Structure 1
Amino acid sequence: MTIPGKGSRPITVDGVAYRWRIRRKPTYSQGNGWSPMTFAVQPAEGPGRALLVSLPFFRPDAWLGARTTAVRPALVAAAVRLALRRGWDPRRPGPAFACDVTEDDLAAMPGGPPAYEVPFPRR
């Protein structure tokens, strides 16, 4: 799996360059709040194994009000470090490595993201 260069952002974690990307539009499941917020990370240079991170939140643009948060570079860097501890080797080719981030993982991350509730739109 390769992340397209367009729309991806560079990040350096512990001296290693990566690119990360969030899907531009939510999938139907993400829009309805049935599946969590995800983002992908891969090494910036050369082939390698991609990382798919799932967060315990929903997308801010979900159609129904749901618990959500913003994905910032600090959260991406912390998720990369967590995946590396869990066995992700970005230099080896292969299928995407799935890393599910839990509430406990977020609490242990420095400056874990604050979640907030999105109110239902009024008609």
Structure 2
Amino acid sequence: MTLARRRSSPIHVDGIEYRWAVSARALSSPEYVLLVVQSVDNGQRIVVTVPHRDRYLNIEGPPPPDFNYDAITPSLVRKIMAAAVDAGWTPDRPGTELSFDLQPNETVTLR
């Protein structure tokens, strides 16, 4: 499954172009969903749940420590991609999507 160019960003790793996109599950949800796919092939995709602090909610007091991802950056996407490869991700071959949870310390755990 490819991602639309208009709603995703390119990222190049080892000379290969991938696309990534972020969406909120719901306006009040405390997490984002990050998708990563190789841009030209219909290969296996990564789906990562990323905790975040929703700026539109009125949260009293300091946010919980696991809500520390205000922005998903290309460097974070690269870390996630490397962890997915270690877990068996095959971006150039079709397969069941790999689902991960991103932990507060930037470790990726397979769901």
TM-score (norm 2): 0.74
1:21 aligns with 2:21: yes
Aligned partner of residue 94 in structure 1, secondary structure? coil
* Divergent runs of 4+, >6 A: none
Structure 1 unaligned runs (5+)? 108-123
C-alpha distance in 2 between matches for 1:84 and 1:11: 15
TM-score (norm 1): 0.68
Q: 1:45 aligns with which of 40, 48, 57?
A: 40
- 1:49-95 Cα distance to aligned partner (Å, 9 max, x none): 1111122x225455354534211110011110111111111112123
Identity between Structure 1 and Structure 2 (%): 27
More strand by percentage: 2
> Paired residues, what number?
101
Pairwise CA RMSD of aligned residues?
2.4
Does the CA-based 8 Å contact 2:2-2:40 persist in structure 1? no
Q: 1:19 to 1:59 in 2, by over 3 A?
A: farther
